[in-house]
Chain A
Amino acid sequence: MTVPEGTEQSNLPDEPPRTGRQWFLLGARAAISIPALILTAAFVGYAGLARETGLTLPETLAMTGLIWALPSIVVLTGALSSGMGLIPASIAVALASVRLMPMTMALMPMVKVPGKTKTWHLLIASHFVAVTAWVFAMRNLPDLPREARLPYFTGFGASVTSFVFCMTGIAYMAVERMPDVVAGALVLLTPVYFLCSLWGAARLNVDKIAMVVGLALGPVFFLYLPGLDLLWTGLVGGTATYLGMRVLRGGRS
């Protein structure tokens, strides 16, 4: 990403240091980027999925804005459509969202100015932690002065979120008038996007094995234990993978 470098170059020699608001706006401008466009396309695809599932427009937008993590949104959509209860649905979504915790943990030391940053600012900014903004932040923030990082990240996150929010609404309304082939193709966009980005985000081999196991178990549990199938897939597939890896690791050492 060349954005921070670009802003360096446009700096006049004796320009006063930028204010938080200026960094916020610079971050917002940096949001016009390829990853943000891919994310928008994925949410446009989700709008198609939501409509086919029977969610209303306000429900779709509430999920987009409040959850802001596509896998969790899709898990909740699945839970709503299979009539899952509040508790099992919460557990399923919490399991799908748990990866946000280590991501946030890794990001926070980078944006914090020790002794100066208020915790509630961090709590607000943390809402924008999702794969796209996180990858962007980890790559670009280290080049910025420490005071600039939090407003810059917040500006980036806020503008990506608002843009995607609007596009999701527009796409939801447009799906009805689309030809069948296009509407259907939009629905396939979400799983393919997940498949690729989940594979790309896997850092250890065990993540990839868990993914393959989950792909295989998902349909089995869906056919034999519908309703709670996602929970079972995650718990059984994930635990089996983890234990298998431990056994292998133990055998080697």
Chain B
Amino acid sequence: MTEGLIRETWWWPYVMILVAGWLATDVWRWIGVFASGRLREDSELLIWVRCVATALVAGLISKLILFPQGILSETPMWLRIAATCVGFSAFLISRQKVVVGVLAAEAFLIGGWWLLDRVVW
């Protein structure tokens, strides 16, 4: 296992979860309750905000695929990228069915991993 998490005290992660997790997330839902009917969903501000949020999560996606932690990091990078591309293509071909995309990527990864193991032995 990679040494990921830095722990100084046992309670610090919970402060992070409460403030940076729960508050930072639920506050948007509460604002949504109070603002419903007042703010236009296609306003310029919200379009920009959505762009930033989408880019942020997309950056996270490629980070998780290129630099994963733990056991997955032992697979070659090209295999993970290829599995993702296969999964995404399957998703597009199947008229955007998420199940199909996820299953195709997983099948490719597991198959490729298994084959590589055999070749190495």
Contacts and interface: CB of A to CB of B under 8 A. Distances in A.
B59 A96 contact: no
A22 interface: no
B52 A239 contact: yes
B24 A72 contact: yes
Given A80-B13, A126-B33, A237 B59 contact: yes
A160 interface: no
Contacts of A158: none
Contacts of A107: 32, 36
Contact of B36 (A100, A104, A185, A215): A104
A71 B57 contact: yes
User: What is the interface residue range for chain B against chain A?
Assistant: 35 or more
A40 B28 CA distance: 24
Contact of B49 (A71, A86, A91, A98): A98
Nearest to A89: B20
User: What is the interface residue range for chain A against chain B?
Assistant: 35 or more
A238 B61 contact: no
Interface string B79-121: 0100110011001000010110110011001100110000000
Contacts of B99: 34, 38
B102 A196 contact: yes
Contact of B52 (A53, A75, A93, A235): A235
A237 B80 CA distance: 24
Nearest to B117: A181
B64 A191 contact: yes
Interface stretch (A5-13, A24-32, A200-208): A200-208
A95 interface: yes
Given A196-B102, A200-B98, A71 B29 contact: no
A114 to B, nearest CB: 11
A242 interface: yes
Nearest to B36: A108
Contacts of A190: 64
A8 to B, nearest CB: 28
Nearest to A72: B25
B78 interface: no
B71 A187 contact: yes
Contacts of B61: 191, 194-195, 198, 214-215, 218
Contact of B16 (A80, A108, A181): A80
Interface string B37-62: 10101000011111111111111111
A67 B68 CA distance: 22
Contacts of B3: 54
A94 B19 CA distance: 10
Interface of B: 1-6, 13-33, 35-37, 39, 41, 46-72, 74-75, 80, 83-84, 87-88, 91, 96, 98-99, 101-102, 105-106, 109-110, 113-114
Given A49-B64, A241-B51, 4 more contacts: A62-B17, A123-B30, A182-B110, A222-B67
